[in-house]
């Protein structure tokens, strides 16, 4: 069971399983937030303090909402908005909120989300 939290601890996340890969995306939002991102079926990530302690941000094609802690400002996760988009049915979690040993154990793949939506290591 992997548990993580934002910097101040107001938002706490528990992953349903151990991720093997994560995504480092270069799109206009992700390159600012950092990450890397790991993905799970929507509803399988336990998130305490959400939505009470979080604020959302919707951008671009409005397919997902990215959430941050309203106290420390750290981005914690995203949720799908559009049921037909790429993001539908998935939860994105910012792995930066977890144990450094877990982050180090995961293979990070670089995604060209800014342009081609292809992994650069394919």
List residues near Zn ion by CB under 5 A: 6, 8, 10, 69, 71-72
Provide, rounded to whole angstroms, the least separation between the CB of residue 20 and Zn ion: 27
Give the β-pairing of 21-25 and 107-111: parallel
**Smaller CB distance to Zn ion: residue 56 or 108?**
56
**Rounded least distance, CB 22 to Zn ion, Å:** 21
Indicate the residue whose CB is closest to Zn ion: 69
d(CA 49, CA 17): 20
Smaller CB separation from Zn ion, 6 or 93: 6
The CB-of-79 to Zn ion minimum distance in angstroms stands at: 17
Residue 16, Cα to own-chain centre: how many angstroms?
A: 14
DSSP symbols for 69-103 = ETTT--EEEEEE--TTSTTTTEEEEEGGGS-HHHH
Closest CB to Zn ion among residues 74, 111: 74
- Is residue 31 helix, strand or coil? helix
């Amino acid at each position: 069971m992997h548990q993580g939290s934002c910097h101040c601890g107001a938002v706490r996340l528990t992953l349903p399983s151990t991720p093997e890969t994560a995504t480092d995306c270069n799109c206009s939002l992700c390159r600012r937030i950092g990450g890397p991102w790991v993905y799970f079926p929507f509803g399988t990530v336990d998130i305490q303090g959400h939505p009470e302690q979080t604020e959302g941000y919707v951008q671009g094609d409005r397919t997902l909402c990215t959430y941050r802690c309203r106290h420390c400002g750290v981005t914690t996760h995203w949720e799908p908005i559009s049921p037909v988009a790429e993001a539908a049915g998935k939860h994105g979690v910012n792995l930066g909120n977890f144990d450094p040993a877990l982050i180090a154990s995961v293979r990070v793949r670089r995604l060209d989300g800014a342009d081609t939506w292809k992994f650069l290591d394919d």
